[in-house]
């Protein structure tokens, strides 16, 4: 039993009652969302290449946060280890369940040049 589980048992009467009744330790669910699923499906090298990631309402989160790359965004969404509370969970739209694709990530150059010019390497 780690310190986080002990803290959960000490601060949550419901968790303590379930532990005393069943003998099973409470399970802490890791954060999950369509964006976390998408980013975790990518290879770490690909996450580093996706630059200027803006997490906002179209991706299932309120407000707007800009990260240098997709790896930093994933670190904010689901930090390493098993934290009980992550900051991103308070900004998550819990009703958002639409599956995301890599094409739905906002491009940093979207308003500056046309997509056809970017695809052809023109400016």
Which among 34, 15, 26, 13 is positioned nearest to 88, based on CA atoms? 34
64 DSSP β-pair partners: none
What pLDDT was estimated at residue 82? Answer: 62
113 pLDDT band, cuts 50/70/90, is very low
At 122, the pLDDT band (50, 70, 90 cuts) reads very low
In the predicted structure, residue 114 carries a pLDDT above the cut 70: no
pLDDT tens figures, 85-108:
788 989 999 999 999 988 888 766
Identify the domain containing residue 12 by its residue range. Answer: 1-29
Whether 37 and 18 map to the same domain: the answer is no
32, 96 contact by CB (below 8 A):
no
What's residue 67's pLDDT?
A: 93
Name which of 7-11, 57-61, 83-87 the model is least confident about.
83-87
pLDDT digits (tens, 9 = 90+) for 14-58: 999 999 999 988 877 788 999 999 999 999 999 998 888 999 999
Which pair of tokens denotes residue 38?
Answer: 């998408």
For residue 61, list its beta bridge partners: 92
Which pLDDT score is estimated for 120? Answer: 47
46/87 same-domain check: yes
The count of domains in the chain is: 2
Q: Tell whether 35 and 61 lie within a shared domain.
A: yes
7 & 58 share domain: no
Closest CA to 51 of 122, 101, 116, 110: 110
Q: Is the pLDDT of residue 112 over 90?
A: no
Give every CB contact of residue 43 below 8 A, 6+ residues apart in sequence.
Answer: none
Cβ–Cβ < 8 Å for 98, 34: yes
Kindly state whether residues 47 and 80 are assigned to the same domain.
yes
Strands (E), 1-123: 51-55, 65-69
Beta bridge partners of 96: none
| 115 and 78 in a common domain | yes
């Amino acid at each position: 039993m780690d310190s986080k589980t002990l803290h959960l048992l000490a601060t949550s009467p419901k968790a303590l009652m379930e532990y005393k009744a069943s003998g099973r330790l409470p399970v802490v669910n890791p954060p999950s969302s369509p964006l976390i699923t998408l980013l975790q499906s990518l290879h770490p090298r690909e996450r580093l290449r996706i630059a200027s990631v803006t997490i906002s309402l179209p991706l299932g989160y309120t407000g707007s946060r800009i990260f240098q790359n997709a790896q930093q965004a994933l670190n904010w969404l689901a930090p390493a280890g098993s934290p009980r509370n992550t900051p991103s969970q308070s900004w998550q739209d819990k009703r958002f369940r639409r599956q995301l694709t890599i094409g739905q990530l906002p491009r940093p150059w979207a308003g500056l040049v046309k997509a056809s010019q970017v695809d052809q390497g023109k400016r």
